[in-house]
Amino acid sequence: MLAQQRSPSLSPTSYVVLGLVAWMQPTTPYDLKRAASRTVGNFWAFPHTQLYTEPVRLAEAGLLTEQREETGRRRRLFSITDAGRAELAAWLAEPAGEPTEVRDHGLLQLFFSGHADPATTLAIARAQRAAHERRLEGYLATERSINTKRELPASRRGALFGNSTPRAAAMRQATLRFGQTFERGAVEFWRAIEEAPPDQADG
């Protein structure tokens, strides 16, 4: 029996897709899109087209299987294979050495806004605070909808939230709480910039 060879070219996004399919299977690209947009999409964003192309690649690599619906739309339905599950497990067992890559557009602008006038800095801070407030509100809404979920009949639950163990659900909720904490901090930070724009380097 040959050793399971790990394809070397799986990107983090590949693992997102793999993990999402493992969670939601059997599932269509569009369902993945919906699930991603309210969960992982918040800390690992990518365009929806990836959710159409990436599963195909993964299927070619034997990590997913694809079936076509017979009726009407003939959508693609993906499920994870044992090889896929092994690949996912191997990735999880190899914790990332490097931390967050934050890619914050607003901070970038703030960093360089010393080249412009104070009004520009203020505008940046306002825009960022608003954006983070919106996002925080979104997270809170997500949390509320998870709580109401418990009252839904099981048949409707799956389509919206997938099915999995309580532990898996707890992990997902932990990331949601991280997001809330982060957004609260961000709102505070930008509010402080608005109220007292930095002026002296040691202020």
Interacting residues with DNA between 59 and 78 (CB under 7 A): 72-76
Per CB under 7 A, contacts with DNA among 118-157 are none
Asked if residue 16 lies in contact with residue 84, where contact means CB atoms within 8 angstroms, the answer is no
Instruction: Give φ, ψ of 196 to 5 degrees.
Output: -140, 80
Rounded to whole angstroms, how far apart are CA atoms 190 and 164? 38
Distances 163 to 22, 24, 158 between C-alpha atoms, Å: 10, 6, 5
Q: Residue from 12, 114, 118, 158 that binds DNA (CB under 7 A)?
A: 12
191 binds, among DNA, a copy of itself, none (CB under 5 to 8 A by kind): none
Which of residues 76 and 132 has its CB atom nearest to DNA in the complex?
76
Tell me how far apart the terminal alpha carbons of the chain are, to the nearest angstrom. Answer: 66
Burial letters 89-111, b for 16+ CB under 10 A, else e = eebeeeeeeeeeeeeeebeebbe
Two structure tokens written together for 28: 């269509």
Which of residues 98 and 117 has its CB atom nearest to DNA in the complex?
98
Which of residues 7 and 25 has its CB atom nearest to a copy of itself in the complex?
25
C-beta neighbour count of 49 within 10 angstroms:
10
Segment holding 188, helix H or strand E: helix 166-195
Q: Residue from 38, 52, 81, 194 that binds DNA (CB under 7 A)?
A: 52
Q: Residue from 5, 9, 148, 155 that binds DNA (CB under 7 A)?
A: 9
Per CB under 8 A, contacts with a copy of itself among 95-114 are 95-114
Rounded to whole angstroms, how far apart are CA atoms 35 and 86? 22
Site string (148-177) toward a copy of itself, x via CB under 8 A: ----------------xxxxxxxxxxxx--
Choices 12-20, 129-137, 141-149, 150-158; region in contact with DNA by CB under 7 A: 12-20
Binding status of residue 203 toward a copy of itself by CB under 8 A: yes
Binding status of residue 11 toward DNA by CB under 7 A: yes
Binding status of residue 36 toward a copy of itself by CB under 8 A: no
Please report, as ranges, the residues that interact with DNA according to CB under 7 A. 9, 11-14, 28-31, 34, 45-50, 52-54, 72-76
